[in-house]
Chain A
Amino acid sequence: MKKKLTTVSFNGTKEQEIALDNVIAEHKDQPGALMAILQKAQGIYGYLPIEVQQHVALAMDIPLSEVYGVASFYSQFILNPKGDYAVSVCLGTACYVKGAGLLMDKLESILGIKNGEITADRKFSLDATRCIGACGLAPVLTVNEEVYGRLTPDMIAGIIAKYKD
């Protein structure tokens, strides 16, 4: 299946572009530089939108399709921007059997976005994640670095409300 791709517009800054150019200059002539450059580009921008990948492709004189092929192959590369509050629901085995799927459903309906998407105001993004090692608290979700455990769907609204304003 094709990946869902963001429609939220790019808002990179001049400083970010300079930082990216420095990264490219540093790695350009190394064999297999693309992975390293993409990893650092993600560090600069938080994700790898088309504008960033196109910039990398032109600077390295390789087709954009090759850059995207690598970026879409590895799950650690992020193609869609994260919100100010990145909500991640653990869908690892323990959380899943404890009803994490229901948490995801609830989040989708409260935030009005699907798994992998971001709200139009860029405030919240929603992702499923693999086991985060907090099985004792299953089912868990995280908002940025905060961990919430032993959840039921009716607790979701309260958690989101904390970040709304």
Chain B
Amino acid sequence: MENMVNIKINDREYAVPANSTVLEAARYAGVDIPTLCYLKDINEIGACRLCLVEVKGARGLAAACVYPVNEGMEVYTNTPKIRQTRKTNLELVVSAHKKKCLTCIRSTSCELQKLCYEYGVDEDHFQGNNNAYAIDDTTPYIVRDNEKCILCRRCVAACKNMQGIGVIGANDRGFDTHIASAFEKTLDQTSCIGCGQCIVACPVGALYEKDDTAKVLAAIADPTKHVAICAAPSVRATIGECFDYEPGTDVEGKMVAAMKALGFDGVYDMNLTADLTIMEEATEFLERMKEGKNLPLITSCSPGWVKYCEHYFPEFTDNLSSCKSPQQMFGAMYKTYYAQKVGLDPKDIVFVSAIPCTAKKFEVTRDHQNAAGVCDVDVAITTRELARMIKQAGINFRALDDAKFDDPFSIGSGAGAIFGATGGVMEAALRTAAEVIEGKKLEKLEFEDVRGIEGVKKAVYKLGGKEIRVAVASGTANAKRLLNEVKAGTTKVDFIEIMACPGGCVNGGGQPTQPAVVRNNVNLRELRAKVLYTADKNLDVRKSHENSAVKKLYDEFFEKPGSHKAHEILHTSYVKRGLK
């Protein structure tokens, strides 16, 4: 039994856990106290002064997000004094905010806008100090508009505390305070990995992905172009949130239908190339185990993680799997194998990926990602951008009939499906590696030790009489911890899966934004990941090597996993970037 204390909230009695804050306790009373800066476990600094409450006997108003409860405490959350103070504080916040709300990317999903509406704020009450800042759009993935920034520091906390990176911070002081990199470097001059966790943490429109939808729409409108799109495993698990579905709703059928309605010439399932990745990576793992070279093998599907490795752990770049990510494999395979098969010139193909990730926008620009002499993938659009395109096209998403992915790239196995959650790539690889090593069918397909949302997971499996030590990390702060252990020799491991975002792609930086009140109280990572594990459970084919579409790719084109041709088209190389 948890330690409880009795407190009064708005004159009614509640028993709440003794270690709660007033903000957490208020939820027992059915009250959501407004916040702008607070993000549970990430940013608990009591800075925005929106969560102010009256505590009987306390001097002044208290910030509920950081104020602990104690026995007999009496709290009021909705007095005239509180309402007026919150309103004034909001008016001060908006006084220094660029109020271009009509066309703001976060209009209607902006937490500041919602609160201003609820509190009846006069946005012109105060004339603020509006410093001019140039928009930083120097990277292919993240755009920063500091004139909209409200200095809540959620992005700083996400970057530094959650991801262990910290390429942004608060510079200067007073009215001149602004969020930027050290010495006012633009983001492209730093060791930013492009994970986009700052974007999904931002309550307003100060941070957003570089919007590439115009490129896609222009290609679709061009009759000389063949425009294809493939959807990453986790997009179907989250895009529903942009259309008012509850988090954790699988909308694969409607997503496919919407993509078709947008006018793509082919709509495909990236789960297929997730399977292809497993075929190559499992083969690579077995080869490295045999040779005892470049171990532990570390997965390379997450481009944020790959860039992190290149900047912060360049000594591990030889350990990275040489496999391209499923996104890049799809584009490479499409512009070689499929283009030949149907007689298309790769130059006339515009290959688009729908991904949960902002770092993938960087990945498409990398060197050695051009198997057909042109870039493997032309445009990578995030879940948010895809939803935006669907809305702009006037497609009534909720009313769509479910549709199926197009052949011949419509089949993904359960192993491919779980790629979008932390531990998923490892489990998928183990299913295939185990059957290859053991030479017989697995009785139990689930590798449960590598599932779940913990930051670092470790397990040992006995395959073919040999112990295989595996580890899984998600979130780069956890990756850092694990790699330092490997470096120090305190953790011995043969195979590591790393995803840059905490929880994996389901919680990627390109996923739909959710307000703090949802993020703080609902386990989004778990709900979204459940979609993928449920899909896996319900599929007949749950192992990559049993995917008939993958077998066909090898029969008709790639010969066998790890073949010379596969290496030329499906593998890549890395650079040691070092710290900038």
Contacts and interface: CB of A to CB of B under 8 A. Distances in A.
Interface of A: 1-3, 5, 50, 53, 58, 62-69, 72-74
User: A3, A64, A66, A73: which has the most chain B beta carbons within 10 Å?
Assistant: A64
8 contacts: A1-B176, A2-B133, A2-B172, A64-B166, A65-B156, A66-B160, A66-B166, A73-B173
A158 B170 CA distance: 43
A5 B160 contact: no
Interface stretch (B7-15, B178-186, B384-392, B403-411): B178-186
Interface in B145-185: 156, 160, 165-173, 176, 178, 180-184
Contacts of A58: 579
Given A3-B184, A65-B181, A72 B172 contact: yes
Nearest to B169: A65
B172 A64 contact: no
Contacts of B165: 63
B176 A69 contact: no
A73 B172 contact: yes
B84 interface: no
A68 B156 CA distance: 14
B19 interface: no
Interface string B220-264: 000000000000000000000000000000000000000000000
A21 B183 CA distance: 22
B127 interface: no
B136 to A, nearest CB: 12
A65 to B, nearest CB: 3
A73 to B, nearest CB: 5
A63 B178 contact: no
Contact of B183 (A50, A63, A74): A50
Contacts of B184: 2-3, 5
B108 interface: no
B160 A69 contact: no
A79 to B, nearest CB: 8
Interface in B95-151: 131, 133
Nearest to A66: B169
Contacts of B131: 1
B182 A2 contact: no
Given A2-B171, A69-B171, 17 more contacts: A2-B172, A50-B183, A53-B182, A58-B579, A62-B166, A64-B182, A65-B160, A65-B168, A66-B160, A66-B169, A67-B182, A68-B171, A69-B169, A69-B182, A73-B170, A73-B172, A73-B173
Contacts, number: 56
A62 B182 CA distance: 12
A68 B173 contact: no
Contact of B167 (A50, A65, A72): A65
Contacts of B173: 72-74
A73 B171 CA distance: 7
A72 B181 CA distance: 12
Contacts of A1: 131, 172, 176
B176 to A, nearest CB: 5
Contact of B182 (A68, A73, A74): A68
Contacts of B170: 69, 73
Interface residues of B, number: 21
Contacts of A3: 171-172, 184
A135 B176 CA distance: 29
B166 A2 contact: no
Nearest to A73: B173
Nearest to B167: A65
Nearest to A58: B579
A130 to B, nearest CB: 15
Contacts of A67: 182
Given A63-B160, A66-B160, A2 B180 contact: yes
A2 B170 CA distance: 11
A62 B173 CA distance: 20
The listed residue with most B CB atoms (<10 A of its CB), out of A3, A53, A63, A74, is A63
B183 A5 contact: yes
Which residue of B156, B165, B166 has the most chain A CB atoms within 10 A of its CB atom?
B166
A3 B579 CA distance: 24
Q: Most A CB atoms within 10 A — which of B181, B183, B579?
A: B183
B174 to A, nearest CB: 9
A135 to B, nearest CB: 26
A5 B186 CA distance: 14
A43 B372 CA distance: 58
Nearest to B156: A65
Nearest to A62: B166
A63 to B, nearest CB: 3
Interface in B406-461: none
B428 to A, nearest CB: 34
Nearest to A53: B182
A5 B579 CA distance: 21
B47 to A, nearest CB: 14
Contacts of A53: 182-183
B129 to A, nearest CB: 10
Contacts of A66: 160, 166, 169
A72 B166 contact: no
A3 B177 CA distance: 10
Contacts of A72: 171-173
Nearest to B166: A63
Contacts of B156: 65
A99 B184 CA distance: 33
A112 B176 CA distance: 26
Contacts of B181: 65
B530 to A, nearest CB: 34
Contacts of A50: 182-183
Contacts of B133: 2
Contacts of B171: 2-3, 68-69, 72
A64 to B, nearest CB: 4
A68 B160 CA distance: 14
A129 B548 CA distance: 76
A66 B176 CA distance: 17
Contacts of B167: 63, 65
A53 B183 CA distance: 10
A97 B181 CA distance: 38
B206 to A, nearest CB: 16
A1 B184 CA distance: 11
Nearest to B182: A68
Contacts of A63: 160, 165-167, 169, 182
Contacts of A65: 156, 160, 166-169, 181-182
A72 B526 CA distance: 40
A138 B441 CA distance: 92
State the 4 A-B residue pairs at the shortest beta-carbon distance, nearest first: A63-B166, A65-B169, A68-B182, A69-B169
Nearest to B170: A69
